[in-house]
Chains A and B, each alone.
Chain A
């Protein structure tokens, strides 16, 4: 369970006494708190899950409940990371872009946790796992989604873009669309009958994907908020 290298510190120049000379007239306030706050907030459900496990708040079938919740956390955080770019395009805000990586890595962390709980559920039997992956479409798509997230997590470091080149890196990271679509399908096929919750995810993902093609330039004039 790690969120990789989501470090405090942001690409935006912080105003510190050292670089004060860059902007002599006005000083930007610090934004160093943002990414650590997203990381801590995103990990909060792990603490609550452990607490729930010890206080028997997970109900009569705690493993099933933990599996479901970590899966939902994965999907929710993936959707949140996908919402960053459309949000920036629509509003002109810059902070969504700065937390995108942390959200993506949190999603990956929960996907791994979800997978580990599934393995624990089946006594860490790899034969059962491979049979499931090969024979059951619902497991196949979930596992594929996890595999797709792996290279994205591995190339989330600062140097990855430079090493791969911006275009290759961007291409690679477009796999997240496939991953989130397969994740939603995995959820849809996994529920017995109540398809409303998975369909809500499908709808949100589709809407975000559509917004991708809304090419609104960030407003140059600030509209004063009411």
Chain B
């Protein structure tokens, strides 16, 4: 042990390792530098990639079977805009129960088992019941609906859903005179939905609509997408689709539908009350507190589009909100 503050020959952490002897071997010196250079490049470059790179999900194999259904006709509510390809629609999802990254739901959807599946219907209805998903589906003829879908984060898609109007289901259950709202509850099962092990939101996910919104002919319960059975990452086996509202209103993997007298407290309202309101109608004039809602990126396009009031469905739904201050009821 010397007291000299000199670097020594044995400390591998010291890049100035002293080479014993009076002559430096230039060839060995070059090789040593080259090896250290390469190692350092790999270590720093690799470390940065691990910390920051999150590649998108690979190609999603279309799962499930095709629905047998009549040749499609454009219905009155269908948009003629280009449909978002299946690959993008099924690998770029917000479904926090399957992970918070956009690619997570497609990767983790294998753990979600859409059969057997029952839906409990209760609250202010004359015919409360628990019904199997296949039975529920058999009550209504399936319809194609090509809808725009606008996420609160500022991106949008065009989705060819398969489903049935929610109005038919609600009428079948015969709401009582007290029913003013519909509350939807998603599956709570950390085994099937591993994202529920993290408390990024309060589980289960809860959403709600005013009864007249739920009865509106645009509002559907979807069981399919692109002519195929709904994939897990898109909310199998049963999800809500409310095309004039931000995407988070269209709750996925529903296990319970409750008609209520009071306005339901939804998951995102609890998470950030100043940012996510009960109505959440798509509105370019009302910015999210932290970002603008004036424009959106349609997935697959490089430029941005102007966001339309009520996501382009103003003619159909603006009447529902007559006399309401949509800045206050955001």
Using a CB–CB cutoff of 8 Å, the interface residues on chain A facing chain B are 12, 15, 26-34, 36-38, 40-42, 44-45, 48, 52, 56-61, 63-65, 68-69, 72-73, 76-77, 91, 93-95, 121-123, 131-132, 135-138, 189-190, 192-194, 196, 220-222, 224-225
Contacts and interface: CB of A to CB of B under 8 A. Distances in A.
Contact of A32 (B33, B55, B155): B33
Contacts of A138: 290-291
A37 B40 contact: yes
Majority secondary structure of chain B interface residues (helix, strand, loop or mixed): loop
Contact of A41 (B15, B41, B92): B41
Going nearest first, the 5 A-B pairs with the smallest beta carbon separation are A59-B56, A44-B45, A41-B44, A60-B92, A37-B40
Contacts of B271: 193
Interface of B: 1, 3, 5, 7-8, 10-20, 22, 24, 29, 32-34, 36-38, 40-46, 48-49, 51-57, 88, 91-92, 96, 100, 102-103, 152-153, 155, 198, 200-201, 271-272, 287, 290-292, 295, 297, 299-300, 302-304
Nearest to B28: A29
A143 B177 CA distance: 54
A58 B48 contact: no
B48 A193 contact: no
Contact of B37 (A33, A56, A132): A33
A58 B56 contact: yes
A45 B155 contact: no
Contacts of B5: 220
Contact of A60 (B10, B29, B56): B56
B311 to A, nearest CB: 18
A171 B133 CA distance: 67
B44 A37 contact: yes
Given A64-B297, A138-B291, A221-B3, A37 B36 contact: yes
Nearest to A69: B52
Contact of A136 (B19, B45, B292, B302): B292
A212 to B, nearest CB: 22
Contacts of A73: 48, 52
Contacts, number: 163
A27 B18 contact: yes
B13 A64 contact: no
Contacts of B297: 61, 63-64, 121
A48 B156 CA distance: 27
A95 B302 CA distance: 43
Given A30-B33, A69-B53, 8 more contacts: A28-B18, A29-B18, A58-B55, A60-B102, A123-B304, A189-B290, A193-B272, A196-B200
A27 B19 CA distance: 6
A29 B32 contact: yes
Contacts of A52: 53, 55
A91 to B, nearest CB: 7
A29 B29 contact: yes
A58 B42 CA distance: 22
A76 B48 contact: yes
B290 A190 contact: yes
Contacts of B12: 225
B15 A60 contact: no
A57 B57 CA distance: 8
A193 B152 CA distance: 12
Contact of B53 (A48, A135, A194): A48
A59 B103 contact: yes
B310 to A, nearest CB: 22
16 contacts: A29-B15, A29-B17, A32-B33, A34-B36, A52-B53, A61-B299, A63-B297, A69-B52, A69-B53, A73-B52, A91-B13, A196-B200, A220-B5, A221-B1, A221-B3, A224-B11
B292 A220 contact: no
A60 B29 CA distance: 48
Contacts of B291: 136, 138
A192 B40 contact: no
B48 A45 contact: yes
Contacts of A60: 56, 88, 91-92, 102, 299-300
B302 A63 contact: yes
Contact of A57 (B41, B56, B153): B56
Contact of A31 (B15, B49, B201): B15
A95 B16 CA distance: 9
Contacts of B272: 193
A222 to B, nearest CB: 6
Nearest to B48: A45
A123 B7 contact: no
Nearest to A59: B56
A192 B153 contact: yes
Contacts of A59: 55-57, 91-92, 102-103
Contacts of A132: 292
A219 to B, nearest CB: 9
Contacts of B287: 135
A149 to B, nearest CB: 18
A93 B57 contact: no
Contact of B56 (A56, A72, A76, A220): A56
